[in-house]
Amino acid sequence: MQPKDKLIIALDFSSEAEALNLAKETAPYAGVFKVGFELFISAGPSIISKLNSLGGRVFLDLKLHDIPNTVARAALSAAALKVNILNVHASGGFEMMKKAALEMKKIKNPPLLIAVTVLTSMDTKSLKKELHIGTTASVHAVQLAKLAKKAGLDGVVASGEEIIVVKKSCGPDFKVIVPGVRPSWSEKNDQKRVVTPREAVAKGADYIVVGRPVTGARDPAAAAKKILEEMK
């Protein structure tokens, strides 16, 4: 896999036009574009085919989390849109993840099915105070990664802090997508557990997700190029 194929640009816009313009600008430097709640709700499912037509692959970041049957059916609907990566929330539990994974195995060329572990906007302190989780954020993330692996998923979304231990616990082929990646020249914003692009790749990340350092830049293409060069 080339460095470009590991770079996911988060299209965190409510405007379809803005999202497509940025995708066109950064396509030479990024192999995947992330479509989250904001863009998917405002632009609708057609945004997927429009991004695919630009030559980019799509990570549909809807973090599905519901009863097993509902999530499995939603995952099938998402796969029909020709996305390349799809995610669910690992905290939905083993049965939910397993049912979704089984449904993906029934279709031709399914997307990678990935489980979200602990959001990078949360840390050990907030997990303990708000959710009454007694372990550290990293330990909890790895526990959820092991559960996702057992359920038959292809990988997880986890912070840079967990890359090495997830790979060690779940195997080198188990994918790790790292969000909250911040180059040294950018602001952290609301992210708490962050790594630089260079650090993430060095630790073994299969993909990194970058949003505001690119989308908020005066020259998004130049910012994406700079990140790609750092990854190399």
CA distance 63 to 144: 14
- Please name which of 104, 98, 96, 102 lies closest in space to residue 149, comparing C-alpha atoms: 98
Distance (Å, whole) CA 192 – CA 197 = 15
pLDDT reported for residue 134: 87
- Band (pLDDT 50/70/90 cuts) for residue 192 is low
How much is the pLDDT for 181? 87
Which residue, among 164, 155, 181, has the nearest Cα to 88 in the 3D structure?
155
- pLDDT at residue number 188: 55
pLDDT greater than 80 at residue 131: yes
Spell out the domains of the chain, with CATH numbers in brackets. Answer: 3-231 (3.20.20.70)
Q: In 3-state terms, the chain is what percent helix, strand and coil (to 5)?
A: 50, 15, 35
The C-alpha torsion from 74 through 75 and 80 to 82, rounded to 10°, is 130
What value does the mean pLDDT of the chain take? 93
**What average pLDDT does the segment 103-119 reach?**
94
| Per-residue pLDDT at 157 | 96
Choose the catalytic residue: 6, 34, 63, 99.
63
Per-residue pLDDT, 1 = 80
What is the greatest pairwise CA distance in the chain?
46
Percent of the chain with pLDDT over 90: 81
Q: What does residue 86 show for φ and ψ, rounded to 5 degrees?
A: -140, 145
In the chain, % of residues over pLDDT 70: 97
Rounded mean pLDDT, 115-128: 89
Active site residue 232: no
Alpha-carbon distance of 153 to 167, in angstroms, equals: 14
State mean pLDDT over 165-180: 95
Question: In the prediction, which pLDDT does 2 show?
Answer: 85
How high is the pLDDT of residue 195? Answer: 85
pTM above 0.85, yes or no: yes
pLDDT for 189 equals: 53
